[in-house]
Structure 1
Amino acid sequence: MVAGVFGEAIDVQNHEFEEKVRRDNQLVEEQGIKSVPALFINGTEVSASSYGEIKKAIDKEIENNG
């Protein structure tokens, strides 16, 4: 068993995926992700909950970075 970032136990009886699960959990911790799903645009977490908010965030990023 591998303990996930959010406290749940992840059954890794099939060891084929164990290292990937560990790396994913490490990435979540490094990025400071507190909930899922998490959305990042150009490395910045976006807390948008609707299509319109997500589109607005993407459009803003395009405008700012061409």
Structure 2
Amino acid sequence: MKTEFIVSDMTCNHCVQTITQAVKGVAPDAVVLTDLAAHRVTVESTADAAALRAAIAEEGYDVQPA
């Protein structure tokens, strides 16, 4: 299942790495694609979208459904 989020405060590669690690903490087999310029994170995983969103938010990011 593909889930997309807008992370408006994702501004650098460190942010990308932190968000990727947060997602993989919930769904180790997830495929995480990021578009830094568009502030978009796409996750291919069977994990619950709410759990993915919560994991990103726990890292301090403002995350909204795309």
Do the two structures share a fold, i.e. TM-score over 0.5? no
User: Between Structure 1 and Structure 2, whose CA radius of gyration is higher?
Assistant: 1
Higher strand share: 2
Q: TM-score, normalised by structure 2?
A: 0.28
* Structure number having the greater helix percentage: 1
- Provide TM-score, normalisation by structure 1: 0.28
- Ranked by relative contact order (alpha carbons within 8 Å, sequence separation 6 or more), the top structure is 2
